[in-house]
Chain A
Amino acid sequence: MGTFHQAQGELHGITVVVDTFGARVFVGRCDTVTPEGVVLLDGDVHEETPGGPTKDEWVRKAARVGVWKSFDREVVPAGEVSSIRRLGDVGPG
Chain B
Amino acid sequence: MPYDPVLVQPMRDELSRIGVEELTTREAVEAFMEGPGTKLLVINSVCGCAAGQARPGVALALRHTAKPDRVGTVFAGQDLEATERARSYFADYPPSSPSFALLKGEKVVHFVPRHAIEGTPAEAVGLDLVNAFDEHCE
A contacts, CB < 8 Å to B: 12-15, 63, 65-69, 86-88
Contact = CB atoms under 8 A, between A and B. Distances in A.
Contact of B94 (A13, A66, A88): A66
16 contacts: A12-B49, A13-B49, A14-B49, A15-B114, A15-B115, A65-B92, A65-B94, A65-B111, A65-B113, A66-B93, A66-B94, A66-B113, A69-B94, A86-B115, A88-B116, A88-B119
Given A65-B94, A67-B94, A13 B48 contact: yes
Contacts of B47: 13
Most-contacted residue by chain B among A69, A87, A88 (CB, 10 A): A88
A93 B116 CA distance: 15
Interface in B82-138: 92-94, 96, 111, 113-120
B119 A86 contact: yes
Q: What are the 7 A-B residue pairs with the smallest beta carbon separation, nearest first?
A: A15-B115, A13-B49, A66-B94, A66-B113, A87-B115, A68-B94, A88-B115
Contacts of A86: 115, 118-119
Given A65-B111, A65-B113, A66-B113, A15 B118 contact: yes
